[in-house]
Amino acid sequence: MNELSGKHIVLGLTGGIACYKAAELCRALVKEGASVQVVMTEAAEHFITPVTMQALSNRPVYGSQWDAREPNNMAHINLGREADAILIAPASADFMAKLLHGRADELLSLLCLARPAATVPLIVAPAMNREMWANPATRRNVAQLRADGIEVLDVGQGEQACGETGDGRMLEADEILADLVAFFSPKRLAGRQVLVTAGPTYEAIDPVRGITNLSSGKMGFAIARAAREAGAEVTLVAGPVLLPTPRGVTRVDVRSARDMLAAVQNQVDRADVFVATAAVADWRPGTAADQKIKKDGSGETPALRFIENPDILATVAQSPRGQAGLRGEAGGIYCVGFAAESHDLLAHASAKRARKGVPLLVGNIGPATFGKDDNALLLVDAQGASEMPHASKRVLARKLIAEIDRRTLGWVHKK
């Protein structure tokens, strides 16, 4: 999916070694469907050439306010009027100070000052040495830029080109891209808190063996990302999966079903929406051996006794707030369950919805989707069922978030 299809981005580069990341960022923006117009300061050209940025953007690069290519010789006006957003990456400490004071002594700062602020947002990705980032002057500048309505992104932490380590690195291209996609997304869930579970659980037999399932966690992670893009504050309780945490999402890692229940109970009182995507093991061994169980050559297999795990979704759904959410009352928590089935999806999903006592149950065929990037969903509620046709999990997650917003509008939990 091209998440920035139809968007026109002015990508501004200021002086700093992080300009090398701007090349990958430009490539990523184009790959996601955006058209990109690069504007560089003279200092930026000491770190990366306009030829490189022209090749990646497929557009001539601008660098001077006296550029005669514009018929009216007003590049600082024309370029800004055409943009859906101006993204400065990297933004040096000096350039942010310029923005703060309205200085405009070259094309990029002129462009930012002359942009129609009501319709063309300005997004800034800082990049500088850790001491420069921590300097009180920089902190004041960042605070004032945000107060002026400029979107100042976070900085990364780690090794810097100067050899020091700390805050101040420009975010990586994929992180800036995620923030930009989120910036353009409708804020359907602004002011709400969403709790999501994702992935499998692991139930130990002994220190090296256990029972789990094939859930990859991709659907739950996509839902967490979509909820964050929609403006929600999101907590993701994740079983043992190897997936990166979505930008802006608080992640709690767990292992077993009981671990997951404890983490959910620790977070659920603050949540307005609970999406139980995790494939929680139904049973666990009654006891886990302290040491690895060895074969003894007798041909006998160890006797394993299983006990039922707690039902996390039912625990939340049958609580007073869960029941209030089922009735559509303010102060309730809206619970969404998932059912991964192997056959008879509608029948099993409908029965599970009634048994758990949730307003919405989302069904899918587990073997057809585990580990994959796409899915097809069946939404089951008290009125019947509707299908979300086969698509990427990112697309389905956004559609599901829109559906949750539609169903919960008007009774958001009041804090």
Question: pTM above 0.85?
Answer: yes
Cα–Cα distance for residue pair 339/347, rounded to 1 Å: 11
Radius of gyration of the chain measured on its C-alpha atoms: 26
Hey, what are 165's tokens?
């380590």
Cα–Cα distance for residue pair 300/227, rounded to 1 Å: 50
Cβ contacts of 72 within 8 Å, gap of 6 or more: 78
Question: Are 8-184 and 193-408 equal in CATH topology?
Answer: yes
Q: Is the pLDDT of residue 415 over 80?
A: no
Cα–Cα distance for residue pair 74/71, rounded to 1 Å: 8
If you write DSSP's letter for every residue of 12-38 in order, what string do you get? EE-SSTTHHHHHHHHHHHHHTT-EEEE
- Contact predicate 168/132, CB 8 Å: yes
Q: Domain 193-408 sits in which CATH superfamily?
A: CoaB-like (3.40.50.10300)
Indicate if 162 belongs to the active site. yes
Instruction: Give the fold, CATH level 3, of 8-184.
Output: Rossmann fold (3.40.50)
Q: Per residue in 267-294, pLDDT tens?
A: 999 999 999 999 999 999 998 889 998 8
Q: Per residue in 158-191, pLDDT tens?
A: 988 888 899 999 999 999 999 999 999 999 999 9
Query: What's the per-residue H, E or C state across 149-198?
Result: CCEECCCEEEECCCCCEEEEECCCHHHHHHHHHHHHCCCCCCCCEEEEEE
Residue ranges of domains in the chain: 8-184, 193-408
The residue annotated as part of the active site, out of 19, 26, 112, 162, is 162
pLDDT-based confidence at residue 296 (cuts at 50, 70, 90) = confident
Q: Per residue in 20-55, pLDDT tens?
A: 999 999 999 999 999 999 999 999 999 999 999 999
